[in-house]
Amino acid sequence: MKFKTPLIQGTLIKRYKRFLADVKLKNGKVITAHCANPGSMQTVNLEGSKVWLSPANNPNRKLKYTWEMIELNKYKIGINTSLPNNIVKEAIIRNQIPELNGYKNLKSEVKYGKNSRVDILLSSNSKPDCYVEVKNVTMRRNNKDNSIAEFPDSVTARGKKHLLELTEMVSLGFRSVMFFLIQREDCDYFSIASDIDPDYSQAFNQAMNAGVEILCYKCKLTSQSIEIISPVIYLQK
């Protein structure tokens, strides 16, 4: 996925009220940017870090910038949770996700389950429909092997609901996939943060045992683009 214009560099002053971040631009000007991430942003919210912003296309928008990435240890990390669906869709269309090749049709935000909308629905005449939910992953904590990316970074009742919906689709004879998009390239493994949300962890294990497939891919990020580069290994705790 390419940005329409190259991102602008700044320094994070603080993130507050969940959706706001004060940033000092390279020219010294301090602006307030939109933070498109409702999570806790554990480990990717370090004040004084380099951050990267996209300018708004709409000149009438109140907040003229959106916070897209933070740079830690020379690696850029994507914090914008509105982007993963499009990143994954582009990769599927380009046949960059071998596990999801072979489908003729791709639709977004299709109603399914109990008042839900699936992120991506893949269909073909020769195989069962495939329901794909996408989750954005940014957290990497200081553990014994700190190349582990983890999800979630806060309690997510919505995430648990998605797991239950995917499990139901499997019971109806369809294919279900939970896709974890790791918007960073400094992780070789992925795991569930069961200490942060035990209920999600339990639902995840039940979904996997019921036949929901787990895919985990990491990304390479630059000020011009975000591209899926390779799968990572899921570690079951």
Q: Is the confidence at residue 113, as pLDDT, over 70?
A: yes
Q: Which CATH number fits domain 84-234: 3.40.1350.60, 3.40.50.2000, 3.40.50.920, 3.90.1150.10?
A: 3.40.1350.60
What mean pLDDT, rounded, does the chain reach?
Answer: 95
The DSSP element (H or E) to which 234 belongs, if any, is strand 233-234
Distance, first Cα to last Cα, the chain: 33
Question: What average pLDDT does the segment 72-96 reach?
Answer: 96
The pTM assigned to this predicted structure is: 0.94
Question: What average pLDDT does the segment 95-117 reach?
Answer: 94
Q: Is the confidence at residue 99, as pLDDT, over 80?
A: yes
**What's the confidence (pLDDT) of residue 143?**
62
> 8-78, what's its fold?
OB fold (Dihydrolipoamide Acetyltransferase, E2P) (2.40.50)
- Domains of the chain, by residue range, sit at 8-78, 84-234
Tell me which residue of 112, 118, 102 sits closest to 178, measured CA to CA.
118
d(CA 33, CA 102): 40
d(CA 50, CA 2): 20
The three-point CA angle 101-229-102 to 5° equals 5
